Amino acid sequence: MKAVERDVAESPATPGDARVVTSRTFPADRTAPRAAAAWLRSLSLGLSETRLSDAELCVDELVTNLVRYAWADGAAHALTVRIERSPSEVEITVEDDGRPFDPNDAPVAPPARSLAEAIPGGRGLMLVRSIAPRLRYERRDGRNRVTVAFPLEG
Amino acid sequence: MQLEHTDMEDGVRMIRLKGRMDLEGSEAVDLKLTSLVAVKKGSVIVDLAEVEFLSSIGVSVIVRVARALTSREGRLVLLGPRPNVADVLARTQIDQIIPVCGDFAAARTALLGPA
């Protein structure tokens, strides 16, 4: 697959429908986490800086996890980040065609009590779940969809 | 991601990281950082003030170099993280096992004791 980023902007379904949906597809390589985070930041979503930081971290971690573990065939793959903004919240969905994986099922190691017993890895999903305690997960048409929502102010 | 270091008269090595410590950034500095903390009984301050973003991959690199240093009777402290970076250190509870200091004087005291 050629390494391209693709944008899809969908208009509101009906006039007066305040939902706005946009998505972008990224090549699933080492550059994807940074590219996805930069794209998220480039959108005017109306989130507070704290929530935007949280959203950026979630996107980075979910995409990093996919790039590292979702595929084992060595072939080129792509992943899609979809953003849906309603009057009350911003929903971010990360979608891939990798192996079935519900991040809610991933074990989270208890925090280390000392540096000596701290393992270097395994904190990505712990971070996502500490920001978004319940992730919405769907497996449909051979694709994983993980959705996390962030409330807008007001 | 950029990295520079300074060795001070009291033997403390200051390492300044700059940029995004995400997957790409962490891979870019991993080897250099590992070699810079490979000092016996070393005291190292890692200055995070110019780190604009830290992910779990960056946390892994920090934990690994801190462990390596500790196994050689050295110590590592983190200095001046921005609020979003400090938030990641708190959520992962890394700040419970690696000292995180707000200013240089506190970092030196954490390493060497009161002046």
Q: How far apart are CA A68 and CA A79, in angstroms?
A: 12
List the domain boundaries for chain A. Answer: 6-151
Nearest to residue A64, comparing CAs of A81, A84, A86, A47?
A81
**Which fold is adopted by the domain A6-151?**
Heat Shock Protein 90 (3.30.565)
Chain A: closest CA distance from residue B50 (Å): 16
What CATH number is attached to the domain comprising B68?
A: 3.30.750.24
pLDDT exceeding 90 applies to what percent of chain A? 69
What does the pLDDT look like over A20-46, one tens digit per residue?
899 999 999 999 999 999 999 999 899
Domain count within chain B: 1
Closest residue on chain B to A50 (Cα): B84
pLDDT at res. A150: 94
Q: How far apart are CA B84 and CA A148, in angstroms?
A: 19
Strand ranges inside chain A, DSSP E: 6-10, 20-27, 78-85, 89-96, 136-140, 143-151
Structural domain that includes position B64: 2-112
Q: How far apart are CA A11 and CA B99, in angstroms?
A: 50
What does the pLDDT look like over B12-29, one tens digit per residue?
999 999 999 999 999 999
pLDDT at res. A38: 98
Higher pLDDT, A120 or A135: A135
Higher pLDDT, A60 or A9: A60
Q: How far apart are CA A142 and CA A14, in angstroms?
A: 30
Closest residue on chain B to A33 (Cα): B23
Model ipTM? Answer: 0.93
Q: How far apart are CA A22 and CA A92, in angstroms?
A: 10
Q: Which of residues 37-96 of A touch B (CB under 8 A)?
A: 37, 53, 56-57, 60-61, 64, 67-68
pLDDT at res. A12: 52
What does the pLDDT look like over A47-58, one tens digit per residue?
999 999 999 999
Residues on chain B bordering chain A, Cβ-to-Cβ distance under 8 angstroms: 20, 22-25, 27, 53, 55-57, 59-61, 63-64, 66-67, 70, 84, 87-88, 91-94, 96-98
Higher pLDDT, B96 or B113: B96
pLDDT at res. A2: 45
Q: How far apart are CA A14 and CA A30, in angstroms?
A: 38
- Tell if the CB–CB gap between B56 and A114 is shorter than 8 Å: no
- Tell if the CB–CB gap between B22 and A57 is shorter than 8 Å: no
pTM: 0.91
- Tell me which chain B residues have a C-beta less than 8 angstroms from the C-beta of A60: 22-23, 53, 55
Burial class (CB in 10 A: 0-12, 13-18, 19+), A123: buried
- Tell me which chain A residues have a C-beta less than 8 angstroms from the C-beta of B99: none
For residue B51, the 8-state DSSP code is: E
- The shortest CB-CB distance from A115 to any of B23, B25, B97 is to B97
Q: What are phi and psi of B4, to 5 degrees?
A: -140, 155
Q: How far apart are CA B88 and CA B109, in angstroms?
A: 24
3-state secondary structure of B47: strand
Q: For residues B65 and A101, is the Cβ–Cβ distance under 8 A? A: no
Q: How far apart are CA A101 and CA B72, in angstroms?
A: 39
What does the pLDDT look like over A64-101, one tens digit per residue?
999 999 999 989 999 999 999 999 999 999 999 999 99
